[in-house]
């Protein structure tokens, strides 16, 4: 008997914990509120099943605990009941699956007006690159990366010249404008993850992966690395600042482009050679 009561309290405790928990998700700050909705839906359906199954179990424990004179029912199968249960479950599962697939379809199809951002990850840090006037990012190679070319942009690619380089781990985004995050890693797996935006994707060396979202709350957010990447994994943080249009434009103006950098580099080099000649 005590067992039944304790199990009942466990179930009750779980439900109460869920209702009163101070630990729950942060407010969503992107267009992926739909993910929260699917979670909530799954919670209701799944939680309902969990509570129902466990309460039924507790009921059985109370009702049918051992008595010398009782004989259990002998009924190997009940075709009808099994069929009903199978089909209800199938329907429930399908109802959970369908919204999931619909939102996944949105997740992998990026809107046309999304701004592409190259997120480059290494052990253990981030840096970012935005397309310049032409709206396109230049191609890259890991082997091109050096002090003069921190992103490894292919020098013969015309699209790369005006790329805006953000060589810090904080990136600014424009509010209400979709961004396509292009993830790239130069060494091991990483994952650019902002809990408030919900979405995440691994950065895999050797290929470029992507996902998109549309920030819809201004503010500052912390970027976490969500794929184990070596001993520095837990300390691999970055930042995102979501700004309104005007602030964002101002910030963008201050950033350096690749051609700026090359020009500066050239100046520096000529200066050095002049110095050496003197």
Partner 1 sequence: MSEDYNDNKTIQAQSSETISGSGSGVSPDIDYVRPAEIPEQDLYHGHSFITKWVFCQDAKVIGVQYFLLATFTGIIGLILSWLMRLQLGFPELASFMTAEHYYQFVTMHGMIMVVYFLTALFLGGFGNFLIPLMVGARDMVFPYLNMVSFWMFFIAVGVLLASFFVPGGPTGSGWTLYPPQAILEGTPGSGMGIMLMCISLILFVAGFTMGGLNYLITVLQARTRGMTLMRMPLTVWGIFTATVLAMLAFPALLVGALMMSLDNILGTSFFMPTILKAGEVLEYGGGSPILFQHLFWFFGHPEVYIVALPAFGIISDLISVHARKNIFGYRMMVWAIVGIGALSFFVWAHHMYVSGMNPWFGFFFATTTLIIAVPTAMKVYNWILTLWRGNIRLNTVMLWCLGFIVTFVNGGITGIFLGNVTVDVPLSDTYFVIAHFHMVMGIAPLMVIMGAVYHWFPLVAGRFLDEKLGKWHFWLTFLGAYSIYFPMHYLGFIGVPRRYFEMYDSPYMTSAVGMNEFISMAAFIVGAAQFILIYNIIRALKIGKPSGHNPWKACSLEWLTPSVPPEHGNWGERLPVVHRWAYDYSVPGAKEDFITQTTPPSDVANTEVEKT
Partner 2 sequence: MSEIKKQEQTTTHKIGIYLWIWGLLFVLSFFSYMVDWYQFQGLLRWSLILLFMFLKAGLIMAFFMHLFWERYALVNVLLWPMTAIGCFIFLMVAEFEYTVFTRLFYFVVGG
* Nearest distance in Å: CB 105, partner 1: 8
The CB density around residue 254, as the number of other CB atoms within 10 Å, is: 8
Strands (E), 109-187: 115-122, 125-130, 164-166, 170-174, 179-185
Q: Closer to partner 1 at the Cβ: 110 or 115? A: 110
Residue 122 binds what, of partner 2, partner 1, none (CB under 5 to 8 Å, by partner type)? partner 1
38 binds partner 1 (CB under 8 A): yes
Give contact residues for partner 2 (rule: CB under 8 A): 136-141, 154, 157, 159, 182, 184, 206-209
Minimum separation from the CB atom of position 44 to partner 1 (A): 11
Residues 6 or more apart from 141 whose CB is under 8 A from it? 152, 154
- Binds partner 1 (CB under 8 A): choice among 33, 135, 158, 230: 230
As a whole number of angstroms, the distance between CA 239 and CA 104 comes to 26
What does 140 bind: partner 1, partner 2, none (CB cut-off 5 to 8 Å by kind)? partner 2
Closer of 136 and 177 to partner 2 (Cβ): 136
| Residue 70 touches which member of partner 1, partner 2, none, C-beta under 5-8 Å by kind | partner 1
Closer of 6 and 207 to partner 2 (Cβ)? 207
The single residue listed with the structure tokens 């928990």 is 21
Tokens representing residue 6 in the block: 């304790």
- Choose between 164 and 225: whose C-beta lies nearer to partner 1: 225
- Least CB distance to partner 2 at residue 130 (A): 15
Q: How far is CA 204 from CA 121, 124, 186, 209, 228, in A?
A: 9, 14, 8, 7, 12
**Cα 40 to chain center, whole Å?**
18
Task: Count how many Cα atoms sit within 13 Å of the Cα of residue 31 in the half-sphere of its side chain.
Answer: 16
Residue 159 touches which of partner 1, partner 2, none (Cβ within 5-8 Å per kind): partner 2
Answer yes or no whether residue 159 interacts with partner 1 by CB under 8 A. no
Residue 14, judged by CB atoms within 10 A of its CB (0-12, 13-18, 19+), counts as middle
Site for partner 1 in 73-132 (CB under 8 A): 73-78, 81-82, 85-86, 89-90, 93-94, 96-97, 99-101, 103-105, 107-108, 122-123
Longest dimension (CA), the chain: 111
């Amino acid at each position: 008997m005590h067992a039944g009561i304790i199990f009942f309290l466990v179930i009750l405790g779980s439900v109460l914990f869920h209702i009163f928990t101070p630990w729950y998700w942060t407010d969503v700050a992107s267009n992926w509120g739909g993910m929260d909705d699917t979670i909530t839906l799954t919670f209701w359906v799944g939680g309902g099943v969990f509570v129902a199954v466990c309460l039924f179990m507790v009921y059985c424990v109370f009702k049918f605990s051992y008595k010398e004179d009782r004989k259990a029912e002998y009924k190997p199968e009940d075709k009808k009941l099994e069929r009903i249960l199978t089909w209800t479950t199938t329907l429930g599962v399908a109802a959970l699956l369908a919204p999931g697939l619909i939102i996944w379809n949105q997740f992998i199809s990026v809107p046309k007006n999304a701004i592409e951002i190259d997120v480059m990850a290494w052990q253990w840090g981030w840096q970012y690159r935005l397309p310049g006037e032409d709206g396109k990012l230049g191609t890259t190679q890991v082997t091109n990366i050096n002090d003069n070319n921190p992103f490894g942009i292919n020098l013969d690619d015309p699209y790369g010249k005006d790329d805006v380089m953000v060589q810090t781990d904080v990136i600014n985004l424009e509010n209400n404008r979709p961004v396509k995050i292009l993830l790239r890693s130069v060494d091991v797996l990483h994952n650019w993850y902002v809990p408030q935006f919900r979405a995440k994707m691994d950065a895999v060396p050797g290929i470029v992966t992507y996902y998109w979202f549309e920030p819809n709350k201004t503010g500052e957010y912390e970027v976490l690395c969500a794929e184990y990447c070596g001993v520095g994994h837990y300390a691999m943080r970055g930042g995102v600042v979501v700004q309104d249009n005007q602030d964002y434009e101002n910030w963008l103006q201050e950033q350096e482009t690749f051609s700026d950098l090359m020009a500066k580099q050239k100046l520096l080099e000529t200066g050095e050679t002049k110095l050496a000649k003197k």
